């Protein structure tokens, strides 16, 4: 059994990442482990500390 901690997302990455659809800034939702684009109404998942910036993996937000 592997008890190593799961690597977390480094919020400093937000300085370099933008929404792939709108090029707008993203916000970090630590509780949901997502990067949220308010402009595109999309939330991109973060898995094992890595943001998945594919629109096919994003979920729509309200």
pLDDT tens per residue, range 10-58: 888 889 999 999 999 999 999 999 999 999 999 999 999 999 999 999 9
Domains annotated for the chain, with CATH where assigned, are 12-60 (2.20.25.10)
Taking Cα atoms as reference points, which of 23, 5, 26 lies closest to residue 15?
A: 26
- Residue 12 pLDDT: 87
Q: Residues 48, 7: contact at Cβ < 8 Å?
A: yes
Distance CA 46, CA 34 (A): 5
pTM: 0.84
Q: Is the pLDDT of residue 4 over 50?
A: no
Q: Residues 17, 9: contact at Cβ < 8 Å?
A: no
Distance CA 35, CA 32 (A): 9
């Amino acid at each position: 059994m592997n008890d190593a901690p799961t690597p977390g997302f480094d919020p400093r990455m937000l300085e370099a990442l933008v929404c792939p659809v709108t090029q707008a800034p993203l916000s970090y939702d630590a509780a949901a482990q997502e990067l949220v684009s308010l402009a595109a109404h999309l939330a991109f998942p973060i898995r094992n500390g890595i943001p998945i910036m594919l629109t096919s993996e994003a979920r729509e937000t309200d």
